């Protein structure tokens, strides 16, 4: 994909339907409440934070693992968190250990993580498909994901919904969810947190407060419950009231297209 | 008088990055990545290195592809905007390199322990994770005060940290600004430090603002003048990220043959790097607006 380093004017946006990724970013943004301290991950979460800041959560604070804290949206589109507009008039530029300290202290309300493989208890694998002793595919690894999953008050997983990715038990736990179920996080000594929501290309899942098992709560427009079940590698529990994920509002879409004018993250 | 540490990059690498050595690089994460030094390591065919870092964008993938690496101790290796690092993937999947899997926080703590002169640092991350299975530097211990479970992360003390900075004097006193990642810990934890610098400036410029100094110059072993030495990663105050280079690299590294062509073009050719980039591309990456900080007063 060709990317121009000079971002053009985007005032005259074509009227086009939203993409699946735009719907996912809008759903991610809605998980951020005004005033939240948000640990912002790479890719779609970058846009989710920008969108929340410019819509319903103007007082949210963004923390980035490189050592950046922002209380304003970056003034220009960014593709990575280290892009220079993300440093411009930041609230704080510092070290990884210091921003991870904010997380470890327990004052980060919500964090976002992308996943390659997830299981029914929300454990994520972004390291070894097949496991470390039988490596079928090596993925990039944790980065900060293990830390966000271990230490935030809650974390949100964003990923593609496919049967090969939604497996009964992950081959390797890069980022801990609820382990083997209720009580596991406490048992291993994790101080708090766990996944609250999984936003996928098909719908939204949350976790049963007692069993800590993933439950389908919402499907995207044009998706059926059966499509979600067919794309999940275990008998996924469904909420008695599965709703439809709201489509992005016109104002959200217009804002998103300002942040990602080339559709790098949110194109088809 | 302090020692003048200016060396050509080739000589700095030849002298301080030995075969079998351990090297911390990419310590600011997505920016200020010492890509010029990485190409020099590949060019000199240094072997059996241990690479240490948090995420390094495509730097570690390149050095692994160059056949220079025995082991990677890192949180992440890939291509930030496209995903996989294909050389890294091939090397791990064929068992030709060893990996110690960290998170960004555990690598920060490992280097901070090294920097502090202690054998480990405690953290509350990674408990119950698979990192324990593939990283023998992590041990679950009980806090002697609270009784809580914590992860002890063993100190890492690299042979050399290679750090790209905006400006340095000839003695190794350097200014760096922007997000610093684990740079300060990595410098202090390492036996030697090589700085690659966009500009070499007068010592007066550096000593006018000691808060911005990344590490004390007396700990630095070599300073190499390397303008555009972090390209394609961004350098605050100098140039933007070259997204196109990272997206191009996805195909340029997808197969060993493609990577050999990448290497022949970008590493082993005799052409000057900036002329390979071309004037138009260089111009497109320059800052489009400047944002100068207010000066501060260190008077007495």
- CB atoms closer than 10 angstroms to residue A219: 21
Kindly determine whether residue A81 and residue B30, on different chains, have CB atoms separated by under 8 Å: yes
By the CB < 8 Å criterion, does A98 face chain B?
A: no
In chain B, pLDDT over 90 holds for what percent of residues? 98
Distances from the Cα of A154 to the Cαs of A150, A221, B201, in angstroms? 9, 26, 47
- What per-residue confidence (pLDDT) applies to A259? 87
- What per-residue confidence (pLDDT) applies to B126? 98
pLDDT, average across residues B179-196 = 98
Among B193, B200, B233, B198, CA closest to B216: B193
Q: Whose structure tokens read 């489009």?
A: B288
Give the least confident one: A162-176, A246-260, B100-114, B142-156.
A246-260
* Residue B59, pLDDT above cutoff 90: yes
pLDDT, average across residues B201-208 = 98
Q: Residue B278 contacts by C-beta under 8 Å, 6 or more apart in sequence?
A: none
How far is residue B68's CA from residue B89's CA, in Å, rounded to a whole number?
Answer: 15
Among B67, B92, B66, CA closest to B77: B92
Instruction: Give the pairing type, strands A237-244 and A214-219.
Output: parallel
How far is residue B139's CA from residue B142's CA, in Å, rounded to a whole number?
Answer: 10
Kindly determine whether residue A128 and residue B102, on different chains, have CB atoms separated by under 8 Å: no
pLDDT, average across residues B177-191 = 98
By the CB < 8 Å criterion, does A125 face chain B?
A: yes
In whole angstroms, how large is the CA radius of gyration of chain B? 19
* Residue A3, pLDDT above cutoff 70: no
Q: Which of B126, B142, B186, B287 would best serve as a mutation to test chain A binding (most A beta carbons within 10 A)?
A: B126
Cα angle value A87/A93/A99 (rounded, 5°) = 120
Confirm if B10 and B31 have CB atoms less than 8 A apart. Answer: no
* Residue A221, pLDDT above cutoff 50: yes
DSSP B169: -
**Portion 166-205 of A in contact with B at CB < 8 A:** 172-176, 179, 184-185, 187-191
- What per-residue confidence (pLDDT) applies to A11? 41
Kindly determine whether residue A6 and residue B108, on different chains, have CB atoms separated by under 8 Å: no
pLDDT, average across residues A40-58 = 91
pLDDT band at A265 (very low <50, low <70, confident <90, very high): confident
Q: Quick one: CA dihedral A232, A237, A238, A244, positive or negative?
A: negative
- What per-residue confidence (pLDDT) applies to A41? 84
Structural domains for chain B: 9-285 (3.40.1080.10)
- What per-residue confidence (pLDDT) applies to A10? 40
| Average pLDDT in chain B | 97
- What per-residue confidence (pLDDT) applies to A15? 57
* Residue B193, pLDDT above cutoff 80: yes
How far is residue A268's CA from residue A182's CA, in Å, rounded to a whole number?
Answer: 38
How far is residue B197's CA from residue B167's CA, in Å, rounded to a whole number?
Answer: 5
- What per-residue confidence (pLDDT) applies to B63? 98
Kindly determine whether residue A5 and residue B285, on different chains, have CB atoms separated by under 8 Å: yes
Q: Which of A39, A40, A82 would best serve as a mutation to test chain B binding (most B beta carbons within 10 A)?
A: A82
CB pairs under 8 A between A and B: 203
pLDDT band at A109 (very low <50, low <70, confident <90, very high): very high
By the CB < 8 Å criterion, does B140 face chain A?
A: yes
Q: What distance, in Å, lies between the first and last C-alpha atoms of chain A?
A: 12
By the CB < 8 Å criterion, does B62 face chain A?
A: no
pLDDT band at A1 (very low <50, low <70, confident <90, very high): very low
How far is residue B126's CA from residue A147's CA, in Å, rounded to a whole number?
Answer: 7
Distances from the Cα of A3 to the Cαs of A79, A98, A257, in angstroms? 10, 33, 15
Kindly determine whether residue A184 and residue B128, on different chains, have CB atoms separated by under 8 Å: yes
Q: A94: which chain B residues are within 8 Å (Cβ-Cβ)?
A: 179-180
- What per-residue confidence (pLDDT) applies to B295? 96
Confirm if B103 and B126 have CB atoms less than 8 A apart. Answer: yes
Q: Which of B88, B93, B180 minimises the CB distance to A135?
A: B93
By the CB < 8 Å criterion, does A227 face chain B?
A: no
Judged on CB neighbours under 10 Å (0-12, 13-18, 19+), B77 is: buried
Q: Residue A133 contacts by C-beta under 8 Å, 6 or more apart in sequence?
A: none
How far is residue B244's CA from residue B255's CA, in Å, rounded to a whole number?
Answer: 19
| Average pLDDT in chain A | 92
Q: Tell me the two tokens of residue A247.
A: 């489509």
How far is residue A89's CA from residue A94's CA, in Å, rounded to a whole number?
Answer: 13
- What per-residue confidence (pLDDT) applies to A43? 84
- What per-residue confidence (pLDDT) applies to B1? 76
The string of pLDDT tens digits covering residues B6-27 is 999 999 999 999 999 999 999 9
Kindly determine whether residue A188 and residue B128, on different chains, have CB atoms separated by under 8 Å: yes
Residue scoring higher pLDDT (A2 or B174)? B174
* Residue A54, pLDDT above cutoff 60: yes
pTM of the model: 0.95
Q: Which of B84, B108, B183 minimises the CB distance to A140?
A: B84
Q: Quick one: CA dihedral A158, A164, A170, A171, positive or negative?
A: negative
pLDDT band at B270 (very low <50, low <70, confident <90, very high): confident
Q: B179: which chain A residues are within 8 Å (Cβ-Cβ)?
A: 64, 66-68, 82, 87, 93-94
Structural domains for chain A: 20-259 (3.40.1080.10)
Among B273, B223, B159, B186, CA closest to A95: B186
- What per-residue confidence (pLDDT) applies to A267? 84
Alpha-carbon torsion angle A39, A44, A47, A52, nearest 10:
-60
How far is residue B91's CA from residue A125's CA, in Å, rounded to a whole number?
Answer: 19
Give the least confident one: A142-156, A247-261, B39-53.
A247-261
pLDDT band at A17 (very low <50, low <70, confident <90, very high): confident
Per the document, the length of chain A is 268
Our CA-based measurement puts residue A66 at a distance from the nearest CA of chain B, in whole angstroms, of 5
* Residue A42, pLDDT above cutoff 90: no
Q: Which of B180, B284, B291 minimises the CB distance to A95?
A: B180
* Residue A8, pLDDT above cutoff 90: no
Q: How far is CA A239 from the centre of its chain?
A: 21
How far is residue A220's CA from residue A131's CA, in Å, rounded to a whole number?
Answer: 32
At A224, is the secondary structure helix, strand, or coil? coil
- What per-residue confidence (pLDDT) applies to B89? 98
Our CA-based measurement puts residue A241 at a distance from the nearest CA of chain B, in whole angstroms, of 33
Kindly determine whether residue A172 and residue B130, on different chains, have CB atoms separated by under 8 Å: yes
Q: B134: which chain A residues are within 8 Å (Cβ-Cβ)?
A: 127-128, 132, 172
* Residue B228, pLDDT above cutoff 90: yes
* Residue B178, pLDDT above cutoff 50: yes
By the CB < 8 Å criterion, does A80 face chain B?
A: yes
- What per-residue confidence (pLDDT) applies to B2? 84
How far is residue A129's CA from residue A118's CA, in Å, rounded to a whole number?
Answer: 11
């Amino acid at each position: 994909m060709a990317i121009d380093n000079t971002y053009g004017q985007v005032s005259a946006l074509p009227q086009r339907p939203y993409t699946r990724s735009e719907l996912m970013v809008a759903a991610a943004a809605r998980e951020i409440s005004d005033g939240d301290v948000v640990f912002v991950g790479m890719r779609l979460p970058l846009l989710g934070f920008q969108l929340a800041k410019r819509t319903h959560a103007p007082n949210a604070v963004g923390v980035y693992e490189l050592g950046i804290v922002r209380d304003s949206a970056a003034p220009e589109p960014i593709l990575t968190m280290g892009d220079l507009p993300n440093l411009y008039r930041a609230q704080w530029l510092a070290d990884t250990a210091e921003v991870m300290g904010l997380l470890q202290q327990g004052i980060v309300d919500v964090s976002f993580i992308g996943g390659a493989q997830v299981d029914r208890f929300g454990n994520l694998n972004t390291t070894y498909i097949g496991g470390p002793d039988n490596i079928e595919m090596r993925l990039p690894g944790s980065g900060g994901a293990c830390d966000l999953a271990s230490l935030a008050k809650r974390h949100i997983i964003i990923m593609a919904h496919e049967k090969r990715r939604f497996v009964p038990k992950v081959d390797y736990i890069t980022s801990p969810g609820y382990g083997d179920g209720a009580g596991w996080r406490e048992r291993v000594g994790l101080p708090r947190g766990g996944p609250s929501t999984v936003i996928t290309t098909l719908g939204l899942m949350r976790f049963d407060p007692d069993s800590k098992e993933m439950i389908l709560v919402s499907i995207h427009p044009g998706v059926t419950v059966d499509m979600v079940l067919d794309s999940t590698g275990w008998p996924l529990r469904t909420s008695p009231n599965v709703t439809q994920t709201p489509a992005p509002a016109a104002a959200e879409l217009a804002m998103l297209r300002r942040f990602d004018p080339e559709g790098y993250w949110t194109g088809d | 008088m302090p020692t003048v540490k200016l060396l050509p990059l080739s000589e700095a690498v030849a002298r301080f990055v030995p075969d079998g050595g351990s090297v911390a690089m990419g310590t600011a994460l997505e920016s200020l990545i010492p890509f010029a030094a990485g190409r020099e390591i590949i060019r000199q065919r240094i072997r059996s290195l241990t690479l240490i870092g948090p995420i390094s964008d495509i730097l570690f993938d390149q050095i692994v592809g160059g056949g220079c690496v025995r082991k990677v101790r890192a949180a992440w290796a890939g291509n930030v905007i496209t995903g996989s690092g294909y050389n890294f993937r091939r090397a791990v999947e064929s068992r030709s390199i060893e990996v110690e899997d960290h998170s960004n926080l555990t690598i920060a703590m490992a280097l901070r322990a090294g920097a502090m002169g202690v054998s480990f640092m405690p953290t509350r991350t990674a408990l119950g994770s698979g990192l324990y299975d593939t990283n023998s530097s992590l041990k679950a211990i009980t806090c002697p005060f609270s009784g809580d479970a914590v992860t002890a992360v063993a100190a890492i003390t690299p042979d050399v940290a290679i750090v790209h900075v905006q400006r340095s004097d000839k003695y190794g006193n350097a200014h760096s600004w922007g997000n610093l990642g684990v740079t300060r810990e990595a410098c202090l934890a390492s036996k030697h430090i090589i700085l690659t610098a966009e500009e070499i400036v007068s010592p007066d410029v550096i000593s006018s603002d000691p808060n911005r100094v990344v590490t004390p110059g007396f700990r630095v072993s070599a300073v190499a003048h390397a303008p555009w030495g972090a390209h394609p990663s961004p350098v605050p105050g100098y140039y933007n990220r070259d997204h196109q280079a990272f997206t191009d690299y996805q195909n340029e590294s997808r197969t060993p043959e493609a990577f050999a062509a990448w290497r022949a073009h970008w590493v082993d050719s005799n052409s000057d790097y900036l002329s390979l980039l071309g004037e138009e591309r260089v111009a497109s990456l320059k800052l489009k607006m400047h944002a100068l900080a207010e000066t501060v007063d260190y008077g007495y």
